[in-house]
Amino acid sequence: MRSKSLGRALISLTSLVTAVGPYKADWNETHVHNPAWPPHAKFHNGQTMSLGLALGATSLWQLWRRPTRAGLDAGAVLASLYWVTQISALAYPGSRAVDPPGTERFPQAKIAFPALAVTAVGYVLERRRLARG
């Protein structure tokens, strides 16, 4: 049974943003095409973008292959990991959310916190739907 579900749709929205968002945000002159960035920084940026794509795609697969509690749990965790790790990156020594001369403290919060909230709401809705059978 692969019925439509608002909860899974909300988590899927986060999964799609997770998969596509890093490419939209970073495939430009400030990141991938930034001549001032050393090759190793570009390597890690590419790793992060690929990780977002992998997490988003795997989350969608878990959510929609079978509507089960295990699939829901895995899908929600996978949809959240990119955003949780993005927030945690600020805790590393010398880390900043933007390169100088940027002055914003954490512009990624505009996406990260809403993505986590949408995933949480979707999770609660889908848990309730699954419990009703």
Q: What is the CA radius of gyration of the chain?
A: 17
The HSE-up count of residue 33 (CA atoms within 13 Å, CB side) is 6
Separation CA 43–CA 122 (nearest Å): 33
Tell me what the mean pLDDT of segment 113-129 comes to.
98
Three-state SS at 110? helix
- Mean local confidence (pLDDT), 113-128: 98
83/127 Cα distance (integer angstroms): 21
Helix axes 6-26, 69-88, angle to 10 degrees: 30
What's the pLDDT at 64?
Answer: 95
Mean pLDDT of 95-115: 94
Summarised one tens digit per residue, pLDDT across range 4-20 is: 899 999 999 999 999 99
pLDDT at 3 over 70: no
pLDDT of amino acid 1: 43
Q: Return the DSSP state at 68.
A: -
Q: Which two tokens stand for residue 6?
A: 């608002």
Q: pTM surpassing 0.95?
A: no
pLDDT the model gives residue 55? 98
Digit-coded pLDDT (tens) for 48-82: 999 999 999 999 999 999 889 999 999 999 999 99
